[in-house]
């Protein structure tokens, strides 16, 4: 099998949500001298990209997304030591601190965004649910984050998204971070109203939005 075939097989293993195949192909890649960095970026990430697109179009659902991410991680267990041995690094576009805002315990939407961001090469710090405005600000500082992503699912917790932006302003840190919001009751209008940098209508949109904003800033 040539390099191109191996990379395609890696991508396919991810699309097929097959952890064994992903792991075996990763080994095969190393054995046949494919660079681990290339295996990740041209193989695994490509597969995740395909799954992400299918998910965005509603052709596959959350289980496939999670299982693909699982296959991705399986292959990474093989590739990561190789990357380290060669002192190679995956290009990390940016660090995103994300979580569900205070008063809100919903996690699924946020988890999907986290998974998609991670498999798109972002470093993700997931704060979990029901986190206070100050938590977001402090954790963003600790993680040296580029982006703060705020999720909420209830109309009654939308004000907690605004509260994070208010605290950033109050602490004169607003310009340090890109702040994006999402979740069923939110909208572009809401994002504009509270002074967020962007709004993602779906998880796939959210990833595209973060990519766009990060590139623009650079």
Partner 1 sequence: MLNFLDIYERALQGPIMTEQDFDLKVFMPALKQVTKQYGIQYDKENPVPSNDADADNLFRAAVDFLSRCGIYCQNTNRVMQFTQAEILQAVNEATGRCFAGEGDDARVFGMRKPDDPKVPWLHVGSGIVCTTEEMFTNLVEGYGSIAEASSISICALDTLRGIPVMAGSPAEIYAAIRGIKIGREALRRAGRPGLPIMNLISTSASAVTTIAASAAQFGLRPTDGWLVGAISEMKIDFGAMNKIAYLLNWGANVGAETSPILGGYAGGPASTAVVSTAYILMGLLVHKGKYQLTFPIHFRYGCSSPRDVLWVVAASCQAASRNIPMPVIWLGYMAAGPCTKMYFYEAAAYLLTATTSGAPSVQTPHPAKAVKIDGITPMEARFGVAMGTAAAKLNRQQANELVRQLLAKYESQIETAPTGSRYQECFNATTGKPGDEYVRLYDEVTNELAQMGLEIGD
Partner 2 sequence: MLTFLDVMERATAGPISTEEDFNLKVLVPNVRKIVKQFDIRYDAANPVTTDDALARRLFDAAVEFIAQTGLYCTGTNRIIRVERDEILRAAQEISGGGTFGEGKDRRTFQPRRPDDATPPWCHVGTGIVASSEEIAMAQVEGYGSIRQASSVSIPAFGRVRGMPVLGGSPLEIYASAASVQAARKALWKAGRPGLPILNLISSATTATAMIAATHPAFGLRASDGWLIDFIAEMKVNYETLNRLAFILITGGNVGSTCLPILGGYGGGAPGTALIMTAYHLLGMLLFQGSYQLTGPVHFKHSCSTTRDGLWIFSVVGRATSLRTRYPAIALGYGAAGPCTKMYFYEAAAVNLCAVSSGFAGVQTVHPAKAIITDGVTPLEAEFNVAMAYAATKVQATRANELVNQLLAKYETEIERAPEGKRYQECFDVATRKPSEEYVRLYEQVKEELRGMRLEIGD
Residues near partner 2 (CB under 8 A): 58, 61-64, 66-67, 70, 102-105, 108, 130, 154-157, 159-160, 184-185, 202
Q: Where are the beta strands (DSSP E) in the chain?
A: 95-100, 123-126, 147-151, 178-182, 198-200
How far is Cα 109 from Cα 183, in angstroms, rounded to an integer? 7
* Smallest separation, CB 94 to partner 2 (Å): 25
Q: Based on CB atoms, which residue is closest to partner 2, 25 or 102?
A: 102
Q: Based on CB atoms, which residue is closest to partner 1, 38 or 166?
A: 166
CB 68 within 8 A of CB 15: yes
* Smallest separation, CB 139 to partner 1 (Å): 12
Q: Based on CB atoms, which residue is closest to partner 2, 59 or 84?
A: 59
- Residues 6+ away with beta carbon under 8 Å from 83: 36, 37, 40, 89, 90
Name the binder of 134 from partner 2, partner 1, none, CB < 5-8 A by kind: partner 1
The DSSP code for 171 is T
* Smallest separation, CB 167 to partner 1 (Å): 6
């Amino acid at each position: 099998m040539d390099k191109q075939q191996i990379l395609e097989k890696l991508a396919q293993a991810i699309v097929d949500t097959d952890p064994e195949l992903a792991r075996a192909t990763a080994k095969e890649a190393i054995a046949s001298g494919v660079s681990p960095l290339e295996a990740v970026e041209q193989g695994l990430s490509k597969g995740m990209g395909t799954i992400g697109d299918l998910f965005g179009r509603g052709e596959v659902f959350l289980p496939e997304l999670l299982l693909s991410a699982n296959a991705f991680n399986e292959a990474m267990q093989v590739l990561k030591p190789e990357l380290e041995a060669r002192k190679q690094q995956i290009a990390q576009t940016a660090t995103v601190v994300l979580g569900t805002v205070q008063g809100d315990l919903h996690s699924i939407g946020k988890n999907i965004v986290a998974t998609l961001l991670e498999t798109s090469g972002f470093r993700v710090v997931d704060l979990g649910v029901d986190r206070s405005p100050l938590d977001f600000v402090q954790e963003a500082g600790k993680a040296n984050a580029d982006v703060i992503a705020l999720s909420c699912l209830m109309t009654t917790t939308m004000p907690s998204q605004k509260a994070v932006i208010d605290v950033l302003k109050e602490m004169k840190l607003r310009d340090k971070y890109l702040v994006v919001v999402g979740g069923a009751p939110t909208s572009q209008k809401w994002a504009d109203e509270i002074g967020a940098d962007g709004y993602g209508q779906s998880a796939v949109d959210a990833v595209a939005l973060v990519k766009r904003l990060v590139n623009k800033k650079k």
